[in-house]
Each structure stands twice: as structure tokens, then as C-alpha cells.
Structure 1
Amino acid sequence: MARAGLTTERLVHAGAELADEVGFDQVTVSALARRFDVKVASLYSHVRNSADLKTRIALLALEDLADRAAEALAGRSGKDALAAFAHVYRDYARAHPGRYAAARHPLDAETAAGSAGVRIAQLTRAILRGYDLAEPDQTHAVRLLGSVFHGYVSLEAAGGFRHSAPDSQESWTRILDALDCLLRTWPARPEPLSP
């Protein structure tokens, strides 16, 4: 029987908070049970195991990130939309480092297809419509943006820019300017090399 007051939603939100405090990798059913001062067994009516808990936290994080991105993008296009989207990623990673890590958690194909990750990809493609990119260049650009945003916020979170000039905010602004320029002047597909 489930302990009164414990719900799957409450446990997942508490797991997300725990991830922000101690790191996503440290989140387990045991750690969550300690947080609620209950036996581990009392949580198994809500989550199957630590892997299930982590998947649920990942889904929560993706939903939160997609909601924030959609709100930030409303009424924007071009460089303004690109910057708003990028700031959502960076701000989310700073405010919720454990949840941000959870949003990068690998999901099986079926779970991923039903997740808010699909919405995030659609929002990214919506930004790129302002740059008039057709396939397959649009997919290349989605991958580029994801790589740059994730790479930058990961390096920044690890302290990679603390002791160097210019300041990381200035670099972030310049990187967004460069991405906008690249997207506006996306190179034509090169001709295959002849043998």
C-alpha cells in the first residue's frame, strides 16, 4: 500500500529538486526515500526503480524546458528568436543543473517520441524557418545549435571560463551573433569530389 501523501508526481518533483542539489547522477530511489524519511519499498508503488525515476525526471525536465522555450519564442523570429531560445537553455542549465542534465538523459525510442523533446526539436526548426533553410541543411543546423548551446553551457558550468578574459557573457553574445550570421549565410551544399 502506498504511503499517504506520496504520489508519483510528488516523488518526481522531489527527485528533480534532489538532482539540482546533488547532481542527476546521484539521484536514486534510496536517496529519495531518505529525503522523505521512508523505507525504499514504500516508493516502489510509484516508481519501478532508479532508472524509472531518472526517466521520469528527464521527462519532467524536457517538459519544463519546452514550456519555457515556447514562452520565450512567442512573437519572435530571426536573431531575436535564436537569442531567446539560447538564453532559455543557458538560464535553465544555470538555475537547474540537475534537471538540465536530466534533459540530456538517453530515452528509449518510444519514450523519446512521446516526450517534450519532440516539441523542443519543433521549436528549434521554427526558429530556423526565419533563416530559410531547407532539408537536409535544417537538420544540420538543428544539430549545430544543440551542440553549441549544450557545449557552451556545459563548459561554463564546469568553470571553464572563470579565469579568462573576456567575460563569458561577452563570449556568449558574440557566439549568438556568429550563429545568426552563419544561419543567414549558410553555405551551399558542396559538390562531391570527383575521383
Structure 2
Amino acid sequence: MVIKYNIGKNEYRNWIVGETDFQPAYLGKYETIFTLSNGYMGVRAVTEEAYQEETRGCYIAGLFDKFPGEVTELANIPDWLNVDLKLDGEKYDLKTGKILLYRRQINIKDGQLIRNIEWESPTGKKTRLTFERFISLKNLHFAALRVKIIPLNYSGDIEICSGINGQTTNSGVQHFKEGILANSVTSPGNLSNKPAI
């Protein structure tokens, strides 16, 4: 496990923590260390592309729930981070192909989590990806995710499937009833500032 502390320079000295290797066995630890929160809303630093070793979690302070036979717990709200990518027909998955560059950093001063990757697909197509996210301190109800994709040695179609997954659970127990915030997906027809639900 490679985590580097105090890697910032100048005004960011002592404000940046980073990792330089993608290690699926340590995803749980990294997603805890790189968690973003503004005191009202918090989100574990899971990768945008889902892996079995992760524990996805988005939470609202004070939002507790209890199901029969379970203890009262902080309810896991719908997940807004999942991004599935197909790059010229190939599924983006760091467990396949080669990772040429991997760097994830949390800037504690600015509240940003940035992940930079250069990935070579199993067929040799190289892509540079940047994932940036933050949770606003000014507007406690606002969070954002930006994805940048640059094909390095090919041109082709890029498919992005993103949305809000309302089928979230805490240890297998779903805290929202079926039909309430269940599956809300942003589509090209809904690119306004209004929520998809």
C-alpha cells in the first residue's frame, strides 16, 4: 500500500494526500482515507467504475433508519458516483489491460478528490482519464463529478453510462422503499439544472 502524505507544494504544502498504485485489496482503506464530506453530506471515495472489493456509501448527517431485526444506522442514500465507460467498444476496467499511470489525490484545503489515470486496454488502446469530484461547503446540498477522457493512440466512440442508483443498501438492507428514489438516470433529454427525478 502506497499512500503519500504532505505532497503538496507552496500554498498546498501539508494539504494533499495521495496514492500512486491501484491495489484492489486496499480499496476499502483508500475509500475511507479519501472520503469527502462537508458536515452535512459525505461520500466514500469509491472509484467511479465499480469493483467488487468496494463499499459504496453516500450519507446525510442525521438520516438514520431501522429495519426489523436490524440496528438503527446511518442510511446509505442513492449513489451518484457510478460511471460505466466503454472506450471504442472496450469496457474500462483497471483489472484488465495495463495501468500506465495511476494517481489519486485529495486536496484537503480545496476539498477536491482527483484521480488521474493512463490506461492501456487489452487491445492496446491508450486512454488518459481524469475524475474530479467535490462536495460544496457553501451549498451543503451540492456535489459534483467531472470526467475527462482523452484517447491517446486511437479515435473511436466513447460510451458513458451514468446515473443515480437508488438500490443502495447497508450490509444488504435497503433503507428506501421500492419506487422511492429507486433508479433515477440522467439522459440526454435532461441536461438542465433540474434533477432527473
Q: Which bracket does the TM-score occupy, shorter chain normalised?
A: under 0.3
TM-score normalised to the size of structure 2?
0.26
Larger relative contact order, structure 1 or 2 (CA cutoff 8 Å, min sep 6)? 1
TM-score normalised to the size of structure 1?
0.26
More helix by share: 1
More strand by share: 2
Select the structure of larger CA radius of gyration.
Answer: 1
